[in-house]
A = this chain, B = another copy of it.
Amino acid sequence: MMPGQLDATQLDLPARSHPAMPIHLKPLVTLCEDCRVSGLCLPTGLPVHDHSCLGALIGPRMRVRKGAALINANDPLTTLYAVRCGSFKTRLNNVEGQGVVINFCMPGDVLGLDAIATERHVCDAIALEDSEVCPVPYHRLQALARDFPVLQQSLNRLMSREIVREHERVLMLCNLTAEQRLASFLAGLSRRYVSRGYSAHGFMLRMSREDMASYLGLRLETVCRSLARLRTLGIVSLHGRLVEILDMPALMALEQGSDELKRKPAQKTPCSTP
């Protein structure tokens, strides 16, 4: 079982335990040029004919069931994974009990870049829904990148972008209120869905309130309350995990940290005179 350290119970191998799922007896051919998110992923910038080189690199794609761990922290780095469809959370765990959700990954995102430093993964990666990934053997990627400088550049850019994203997250954690963090989170999700061809205004949250809270440096109760507030402000509409953004400009004003228009003019008077 070369690519990946998953055991059969986690993966959707010809599935005894889930006979209802379709079974793929022949390996799924992985062609980047057919992939809808290749423009966001590793092959970015490669001319079309080079994609076939990548095709030779990338192993047969793998299915991961909801809740299963694609990566466990401390696994040795053998493969990076490009998300093809579905979504994941990555989570960094403390020595003590607690950890934090580091990122939510969707199609086109590459998992495992943080393992390159130590050749061991530092985060768990858990599927938030049934998902598919393209395994990329790291050492073969390195070799191929030597011959295709654009590929190397692409990898460099992915890593650098991850650094920048983390910078922005730190900015959020340090400067924004709970409500503003939620706004920033929803606006960010919206942008990511747009760049994948989905609606900017309506989408489904794949993660629990608890995961959102962990990602945003809050408690889940605070997430609930802040969401409720955004709803009463008429900025979003919420039904469970289904989100509809009603007032995008207001949302974006909030995520920029503007204090204005946080409290509505004369909505309710929270003054307490018992």
Contact = CB atoms under 8 A, between A and B. Distances in A.
Nearest to A163: B114
Contacts of A39: none
Nearest to A169: B170
B160 A160 contact: no
Q: Chain A's interface: helix, strand, loop or mixed, by majority?
A: helix
Copies per assembly: 2
**Which of A100, A118, A123, A157 counts the most B-chain CB atoms under 10 A from its CB?**
A100
A64 interface: no
Interface residues of A, number: 45
Interface string A102-115: 10000000000111
B258 A160 contact: no
A161 interface: yes
A164 B117 CA distance: 8
5 contacts: A96-B257, A114-B164, A122-B164, A146-B146, A174-B217
Given A92-B170, A114-B163, 16 more contacts: A96-B258, A102-B167, A102-B170, A113-B160, A113-B163, A114-B160, A114-B164, A114-B167, A117-B160, A117-B161, A142-B149, A146-B146, A152-B152, A159-B160, A166-B169, A170-B173
